Chain A
Amino acid sequence: MTDRILITGTGMVTAAGIGMDACWQTLLRGESCIGPLTLWDAAGMASQIAGQVSGDPDVPAQLGPYPVVGRPMTFGVSAALEAMAQAGLDATLDIPPSRRAVVAAGGFDDQMLVMMARGVDTILPSGEYSFESVDADSLVSAMQGAETLREMARYSQVQLMQAVAHEAGAQQALLVSTACAGGSTALGDAISMIRRGEVDMVVCVGVDTLITREMMGGFCNLTALSTRNDAPEKASRPFDGDRDGFVMGEGAAALVLEREDLALARGARPLAEFAGFGYSADAYRLTAPHPEGTGMALAMERALSDAAMAPEEIDNVNAHGTSTAANDSAETAAIRAVFGQHADKLCLSATKSMIGHLIHGAGAVGAAVAVRTIQEQTVHPTANYETLDPACDLDVVPDGPRSTSVDGVLVNAFGFGGQNASLVFRRWSGAA
């Protein structure tokens, strides 16, 4: 048995397109996909811009008993089916169900809000906001007849995990939450499960569609979002001196991981090697990363150590790069602390500059982009890097794609509450 883990499938749905190829081509052009928020009327919001997915992915209406409904499930299923198709993963594959797993992160839909309102309105008289004044008998009968409550559950991330597991014929399923690091945590947990011999193959899905009223309102209240409403395409500007916050995005990415020996034995095409990962917690504050990026650095160091790679073996960092003042400077400091002089030889990719921040989906998007970067030996540019911030002085590839030798890519994702995950991908060099 080999210790190597390969990526054999990727899939993606973002504002940059539906499907991995479409997304990659948009990213290569350095084209911002941020625009006015049109999913609903955001006139009352401080931030009225977003990275919305255009069009509808072509997905089945049903996966087994699970209806594919709502944006998170539609995007997540689309990305997962694309990755599974590329990997050649289907029910006929000779891998026992108990040796297959799905690890998912994220995904709510504001249809839940509508349903909650509908459910609540069946219970509460107009103008009432608490249950105190409601007649007990009518409350009980309304609750017992609440079909909407069952409907609500269909829109949850749990159903995404279940549906993908059903489709992948997987008998292990996990749902993780580390906020913005969720997609990366899913991948880290997945590789751990394979290495420990618990499974042979994992489908990982990271998804979020938080361009919703509740979440946009919440992040506006936190003053975390860009308010550059008059120039949406300029709003997401990671590492730029004029950045003013992140832009909410939506979408999903999926990757199929499997043991090298089994993948090669069945004739799967290796896209890249998943070499290692590292987790850390800031243990600092709920609301902000450690200003010196100590937790971020710890995650990166652990990922390199796990991959048994020196910092000099990394050519590209797919940065967390949210475009917030606190994150980008802390991440730069952390990269400098980890990579030393080699930091000036690295090139950075800030994918969020074009598609916004997918929260639980962000790490999975970074990972899929890293795999494609290695395949194509090309680093996509970072949009809107125009004004130097002395605290963010790394090479972020500002002007068009860069063809270069890329053997190792490190992917960063850092979550609210200080939960960090870094991943390392490496060019596959042939069978061990």
Chain B
Amino acid sequence: MTAASPRVVVTGVGFASALGVGRDAVRTGLEQGSTCLLDLEERLARVPPGAGAVLDLPRKEFRNYFDTRVLRLSTMTRQTTLGCIAAGDLLVDAGCPPNGTEYADKGAYLGSFIVPPDFAKQVKAVRILAHRPDGEDTGYVLDDARLDEAMKMASAFDFLRALPNMPSAHLSIQAGYQGPACTYLGSDSSGMQAMGMAVGAIQSGLATAMIAGGAFFPFQEVHLAWQESRGLWADAGPVAQRVRPYAADRTGTLPGEGAALFYFEEREAALARGATILAEVVGFGQRFVTPGGDDDLSVRVDTLRAALPDAAPDWIAPLGLGHPELDALEAQAYQRAFGDSLGQSGLVTLVPQIGYCGPAAGPLNLVAALLAAAGEASPKRTEVLADENCSALARAMGQAGKSGPGSVVLGSSFSLDGVHAALALRVGG
């Protein structure tokens, strides 16, 4: 962040996860420490891990959040819907609910991940089109003679709504925002990347305000199986205690759906409209490294230090997946970046409560940590029997950091794909 750049502040947060929608859901969830992880039913029970956390919100209630313009939320993909629900919550929180007006100077960046929306339909199309000819052991072919039949499985709208850019495109249309709009993809850090790029967009003068964060829906069979093949899912213990970040006996994580968005705004513009400033952006860092290399750890450290070069965080929001190797790398990175000063930090991760929400996980954790740092919520104390590699973060899970104006919060996302991102905020502004 260059010295001449305009100061960027946060004037609203939007939240949708299995805990519920809005700040109250976050506060209650943090204070009670209750988990929403459950055994899944019917078809999803058949796919590993067979458990996860789902937002229980009837379709008829979607319109309470964001159903104001030309599109109905019920026609979108689930991840776009979650993004729009969080955005509706966000815009009310920021004091600028949509009113049919178009805004040339506001934009939307959303991190997401391509998960085909209707797998049953897709499977049907795929199985019609691609098959193994009789008598052949290995070769699968795409049978063009079946093309017509296969394509009848998908309507034009099915196709259009599933395009990867649609989460941010929908959001722009819904909000009437004519500024920059982009969907960031490619890793579970894309939600944090979207936030950093949104801050950059304001600093570059592309917009005076940006909605940014992540939205994610994992409950599709192939996606769950793919993550299973990458060793992500936990397999030991009762569901409610199965995700144990930094614990010595951790075995992995569980999936969740959700979205979290921030309303970033030029500080002067926020002051001019009398907005309540929740926090100011301190810094952003993003890095890539080929996973498994010698510099795997040092690049993670560099990511954290790029976001917060000159201070120690009062609160941290790492992912806290509960994954054996990823948690160890995460803990070592924080320890190496901030050393003994971590001893004063509080830690917030919602993953044991709402599951791992992919590109939305970093933003969801950061919303919760920001509310804790602002003194709006007191996370329930958690005792963790940690292994040696995770002791610094395990200790932080059991304590509160400094809260109130001036408190510094650092959120991060380290992805399996080697894309890492971190964003630092200072409470007040």
A283 at the interface (CB under 8 A from B): yes
User: Which among B31-39, B85-93, B148-156, B250-258 touches the partner chain?
Assistant: B148-156
Contacts of B182 in A (CB 8 A): 176-178, 185, 189, 279, 419
| A117, A153, A166 — most chain B CB neighbours (10 Å) | A117
B11 at the interface (CB under 8 A from A): no
- In the complex, the answer to whether A217 meets B203 with C-beta atoms within 8 Å is no
- In the complex, the answer to whether B288 meets A213 with C-beta atoms within 8 Å is no
- In the complex, the answer to whether A415 meets B126 with C-beta atoms within 8 Å is no
Question: What 1/0 flags go to B116-140 for Cβ under 8 Å of A?
Answer: 0000101111110111100000001
- In the complex, the answer to whether A177 meets B164 with C-beta atoms within 8 Å is yes
Contacts A129-B127, A177-B165, A197-B2; A416 near B160 (Cβ below 8 A): yes
**CB-nearest residue of chain B relative to A106?**
B164
Contacts A196-B200, A217-B147; A129 near B123 (Cβ below 8 A): yes
Contacts of B108 in A (CB 8 A): 281
- In the complex, the answer to whether B126 meets A143 with C-beta atoms within 8 Å is no
User: Which of A139, A177, A279, A280 lies in contact with B47, CB distance below 8 A?
Assistant: A139
User: Which among A14-22, A36-44, A254-262, A380-388 touches the partner chain?
Assistant: A36-44
- In the complex, the answer to whether A143 meets B147 with C-beta atoms within 8 Å is no
B417 at the interface (CB under 8 A from A): yes
A65 at the interface (CB under 8 A from B): yes
**Docked complex Cα distance between A229 and B230 (Å):** 44
**CB-nearest residue of chain B relative to A278?**
B206
Contacts of B164 in A (CB 8 A): 177, 179
Instruction: Please tell me the size bucket of the interface on B.
Output: 35 or more
Contacts A40-B142, A124-B127; A143 near B186 (Cβ below 8 A): no
- In the complex, the answer to whether A415 meets B173 with C-beta atoms within 8 Å is no
Instruction: Please tell me the size bucket of the interface on A.
Output: 35 or more
Contacts of B144 in A (CB 8 A): 40-44, 213
B197 at the interface (CB under 8 A from A): yes
Contacts of A170 in B (CB 8 A): 288
B22 at the interface (CB under 8 A from A): no
User: Which of B165, B176, B288 lies in contact with A173, CB distance below 8 A?
Assistant: B288
A192 at the interface (CB under 8 A from B): yes
Contacts A162-B418, A176-B182; A113 near B126 (Cβ below 8 A): yes
User: Which among B219-227, B381-389, B402-410 touches the partner chain?
Assistant: B219-227
A307 at the interface (CB under 8 A from B): no
| Nearest Cβ on chain B to A215's Cβ, whole angstroms | 8
A308 at the interface (CB under 8 A from B): no
**Docked complex Cα distance between A185 and B184 (Å):** 11
**Docked complex Cα distance between A79 and B422 (Å):** 31
Contacts of B185 in A (CB 8 A): 157-158, 175-177
- In the complex, the answer to whether B288 meets A179 with C-beta atoms within 8 Å is no
A146 at the interface (CB under 8 A from B): yes
Contacts of A182 in B (CB 8 A): 165
A136 at the interface (CB under 8 A from B): yes
**Docked complex Cα distance between A118 and B140 (Å):** 7
B181 at the interface (CB under 8 A from A): yes
- In the complex, the answer to whether A286 meets B71 with C-beta atoms within 8 Å is yes
Contacts of B125 in A (CB 8 A): 214
- In the complex, the answer to whether B172 meets A283 with C-beta atoms within 8 Å is yes
Contacts of B71 in A (CB 8 A): 286
B287 at the interface (CB under 8 A from A): yes
- In the complex, the answer to whether A117 meets B130 with C-beta atoms within 8 Å is yes
- In the complex, the answer to whether B47 meets A295 with C-beta atoms within 8 Å is no
User: Which of B43, B131, B187 lies in contact with A158, CB distance below 8 A?
Assistant: B187
**Docked complex Cα distance between A285 and B179 (Å):** 15
| Nearest Cβ on chain B to A110's Cβ, whole angstroms | 7
A171 at the interface (CB under 8 A from B): yes
A93 at the interface (CB under 8 A from B): no
Contacts A149-B229, A218-B156, A298-B178; A121 near B186 (Cβ below 8 A): no
**Docked complex Cα distance between A171 and B148 (Å):** 45
User: Which of A104, A152, A185, A189 lies in contact with B226, CB distance below 8 A?
Assistant: A152
User: Which of B45, B181, B287 lies in contact with A172, CB distance below 8 A?
Assistant: B287
**Docked complex Cα distance between A153 and B124 (Å):** 21
| Nearest Cβ on chain B to A252's Cβ, whole angstroms | 16
- In the complex, the answer to whether A146 meets B229 with C-beta atoms within 8 Å is yes
B7 at the interface (CB under 8 A from A): no
| CB under 8 Å from chain B, chain A span 296-338 | 298, 302
User: Which of B46, B107, B123, B180 lies in contact with A139, CB distance below 8 A?
Assistant: B46
Contacts A134-B46, A192-B201, A281-B178; A179 near B155 (Cβ below 8 A): no
Contacts A172-B288, A192-B204; A418 near B173 (Cβ below 8 A): yes
B268 at the interface (CB under 8 A from A): no
B311 at the interface (CB under 8 A from A): no
**CB-nearest residue of chain B relative to A104?**
B186
A91 at the interface (CB under 8 A from B): no
- In the complex, the answer to whether B47 meets A130 with C-beta atoms within 8 Å is no
Contacts of A165 in B (CB 8 A): 288, 290
User: Which of A119, A146, A174 lies in contact with B184, CB distance below 8 A?
Assistant: A174
- In the complex, the answer to whether B160 meets A281 with C-beta atoms within 8 Å is no
| CB under 8 Å from chain B, chain A span 238-291 | 279-287
Contacts A124-B123, A140-B48, A221-B154; A65 near B290 (Cβ below 8 A): yes
B335 at the interface (CB under 8 A from A): no
A98 at the interface (CB under 8 A from B): yes
B286 at the interface (CB under 8 A from A): yes
| Nearest Cβ on chain B to A49's Cβ, whole angstroms | 15
**Docked complex Cα distance between A175 and B286 (Å):** 13
**Docked complex Cα distance between A222 and B162 (Å):** 13
User: Which of A139, A196, A220 lies in contact with B151, CB distance below 8 A?
Assistant: A220
**CB-nearest residue of chain A relative to B42?**
A132
**Docked complex Cα distance between A16 and B52 (Å):** 49
**Docked complex Cα distance between A179 and B185 (Å):** 12
- In the complex, the answer to whether A217 meets B132 with C-beta atoms within 8 Å is no
- In the complex, the answer to whether B169 meets A217 with C-beta atoms within 8 Å is no
- In the complex, the answer to whether A279 meets B163 with C-beta atoms within 8 Å is no
- In the complex, the answer to whether A189 meets B159 with C-beta atoms within 8 Å is no
- In the complex, the answer to whether B165 meets A279 with C-beta atoms within 8 Å is no
**Docked complex Cα distance between A213 and B151 (Å):** 8
- In the complex, the answer to whether A131 meets B46 with C-beta atoms within 8 Å is yes
| Nearest Cβ on chain A to B73's Cβ, whole angstroms | 13
A417 at the interface (CB under 8 A from B): yes
**Docked complex Cα distance between A64 and B306 (Å):** 26
| CB under 8 Å from chain A, chain B span 270-324 | 286-290, 292, 299, 302, 306
| Nearest Cβ on chain B to A172's Cβ, whole angstroms | 6
Contacts of B302 in A (CB 8 A): 98, 171
- In the complex, the answer to whether A213 meets B226 with C-beta atoms within 8 Å is no
**Docked complex Cα distance between A223 and B157 (Å):** 12
| Nearest Cβ on chain B to A11's Cβ, whole angstroms | 21
- In the complex, the answer to whether A283 meets B178 with C-beta atoms within 8 Å is yes
B67 at the interface (CB under 8 A from A): no
Contacts of B368 in A (CB 8 A): none
B168 at the interface (CB under 8 A from A): yes
Contacts of B181 in A (CB 8 A): 178, 279, 281, 418-419
**Docked complex Cα distance between A132 and B124 (Å):** 13
A116 at the interface (CB under 8 A from B): yes
Can you sample 24 A-B contacts with CB below 8 Å? A44-B144, A44-B151, A65-B290, A117-B129, A119-B225, A120-B127, A130-B120, A131-B47, A144-B229, A146-B226, A158-B185, A158-B417, A165-B288, A166-B290, A177-B182, A178-B168, A179-B169, A196-B1, A217-B154, A220-B151, A223-B156, A279-B179, A417-B163, A419-B168
| Extra inter-chain contacts (5) besides given A116-B126, A217-B154, A417-B166, CB under 8 Å | A130-B123, A198-B200, A217-B150, A220-B151, A282-B172
**For the complex of A and B, 9 pairs with smallest distance between CB atoms:** A417-B169, A175-B186, A218-B159, A117-B130, A41-B144, A217-B151, A173-B288, A221-B156, A281-B172
